């Protein structure tokens, strides 16, 4: 029982990281109707910048630069490429981001080679005791930081001008545009935010117990896609809950893999996708997604 609770807690902490990544996907989708396959490689770009700079500049400054760099990269993608196809076909836009992902990932993978860069975070490989459960310090901090960022986002989304503009743009882009909301600015802001959130999550994703920054990080970040799909594409709340579910499921399946060895090794990596497929069987538009209605 104790082990079970410890795994659940650890899963929730991992899930909070996925939530941040999935939230970026939701924000981008709401503001610009783009399924962003380049999200994982933008995350990798952010942590790569941090990993390269932290030895010289110290962790915190490197972190700030990395987060801004990833946000800026996402912004450039939106302004230079996505905007030209604005309002275009969903599939074409998704494949465009896939092209960006291929280019970015290939270049970063080449630069990383077989290296594993340390992230150099002050929490290192510490383990803390909370209520008798032993958890990595990085995961505990990740949960706290994620909670702060998620609440901050929720408040901004409800109350700030930017949040109102974004919700209006998501509801009905044309009308919002006519009412004086600058769609281009909303879209650019959303992409920047997504890139920054992804990198913030990435810092924890590559901290202990992970080995560090290597080429597989972009792939690990893909686990946020089931979280996003599970939550239902356009729901920030869905992204958070989807992230937590995926985190718990993947930690539990990895933790109990000896007991369920008949299902094969490495089950923790595939479990999120299986959960996603099962949920889609029952609810094709995710748990909290808006169902598309057709009016004739």
Partner 1 sequence: MSDLARHRGTAAAAALIVLIALVPLYLEGFWLQTGLFVMAAIVGAIGLTLLVGRAGQLSLGHAFFVAVGAYGYCYLAGDPAAGAEGDPAGLGLTPFLAAIGAVALAGGAGALFSPIAGRVRGIYLGLASLGLVFLGQHILFNAAGVTGGFEGRDAAPFALFGFTFSNTDPDDFAVMGVPFGMLERLWYLELAVVVLACWFARNLVASRPGRALATVRDSETAAAVMGIDVRRYRALAFVISSMYAGLAGVLMALAFGRIVPESFGLLLSIDYLVMIVIGGAGLVAGAVAGAIFVAALPLLLSHYSDALPLLAEPGSGGLGAAELSRLLYGAAIIAVLLFAPGGIGRLFRRAVRPDPTALVGPAPVTSTSKPSEAKEESKA
Binding interface with partner 1 (CB under 8 A): 35, 81, 84-85, 88-92, 94-96, 98-103, 106-107, 109-110, 113, 225-226, 229, 233, 263-267, 269-270, 273-274, 276-277, 280-281, 284-285, 294, 296
Rounded least distance, CB 199 to partner 1, Å: 22
Rounded least distance, CB 232 to partner 1, Å: 10
Rounded least distance, CB 121 to partner 1, Å: 27
Closer residue to partner 1 in complex, CB, 67/96:
96
Say if CB 206 and CB 212 are below 8 A apart: yes
Closer residue to partner 1 in complex, CB, 210/285:
285
Angle between helices 267-282 and 236-255 (to 10 degrees): 140
Provide the CA 150 distance to its chain's centre, in angstroms.
Answer: 12
Q: Kindly write down the DSSP assignment for every residue of 76-126, as one continuous string.
A: HIIIIIGGGGTT--HHHHHHHHHHHHHHHHHHHHHHHTT--B----TTTT-
Rounded least distance, CB 127 to partner 1, Å: 30
In sequence order, what are the residues at sequence separation of 6 or more whose Cβ sits closer than 8 angstroms to the Cβ of residue 170? Answer: 30, 31, 234
Closer residue to partner 1 in complex, CB, 132/264:
264
Closer residue to partner 1 in complex, CB, 16/36:
36
DSSP tag of 213: B
Residue 113, class by beta-carbon neighbours within 10 Å (0-12 exposed, 13-18 middle, 19+ buried)?
Answer: exposed
Rounded least distance, CB 207 to partner 1, Å: 24
d(CA 247, CA 254): 11
Closer residue to partner 1 in complex, CB, 6/78:
78
Rounded least distance, CB 29 to partner 1, Å: 10
d(CA 281, CA 279): 5
The length of the chain, given as a count of residues? 296
Rounded least distance, CB 135 to partner 1, Å: 27
d(CA 58, CA 46): 15
Closer residue to partner 1 in complex, CB, 113/180:
113
Closer residue to partner 1 in complex, CB, 152/266:
266
């Amino acid at each position: 029982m104790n082990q079970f609770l410890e795994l659940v807690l650890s899963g929730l902490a991992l899930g909070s990281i996925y939530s941040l990544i999935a939230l970026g996907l939701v924000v981008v989708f709401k503001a610009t109707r783009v399924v962003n396959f380049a999200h994982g490689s933008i995350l990798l770009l952010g942590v790569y910048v941090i990993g390269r700079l932290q030895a010289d500049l110290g962790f915190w400054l490197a972190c700030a630069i990395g987060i801004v760099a990833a946000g800026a990269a996402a912004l450039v993608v939106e302004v230079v490429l996505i905007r030209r196809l604005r309002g275009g076909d969903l599939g074409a836009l998704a494949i465009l981001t896939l092209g960006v992902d291929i280019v970015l990932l290939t270049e970063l993978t080449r630069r990383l080679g077989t290296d594993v860069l340390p992230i150099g975070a002050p929490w290192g490989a510490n383990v803390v005791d909370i209520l008798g459960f032993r958890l990595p310090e990085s995961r505990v901090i990740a949960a706290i930081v994620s909670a702060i960022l998620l609440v901050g986002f929720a408040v901004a989304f409800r109350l700030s001008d930017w949040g109102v503009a974004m919700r209006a743009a998501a509801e009905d882009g044309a009308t919002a545009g006519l009412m004086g909301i600058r769609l281009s600015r909303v879209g650019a802001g959303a992409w920047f935010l997504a890139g920054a959130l992804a990198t913030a999550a990435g810092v924890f994703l590559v901290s202990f117990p992970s080995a560090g920054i290597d080429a597989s990080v972009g792939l690990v970040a893909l686990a946020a896609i089931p979280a996003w799909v599970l939550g239902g594409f356009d729901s920030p709340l869905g992204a958070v809950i989807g992230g937590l579910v995926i985190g718990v499921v993947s930690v539990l399946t990895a933790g109990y893999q000896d007991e369920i060895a008949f299902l094969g090794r490495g089950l923790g990596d595939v479990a999120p996708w299986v959960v996603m497929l099962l949920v889609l069987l029952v609810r094709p538009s995710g748990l909290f997604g808006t169902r598309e209605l057709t009016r004739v």
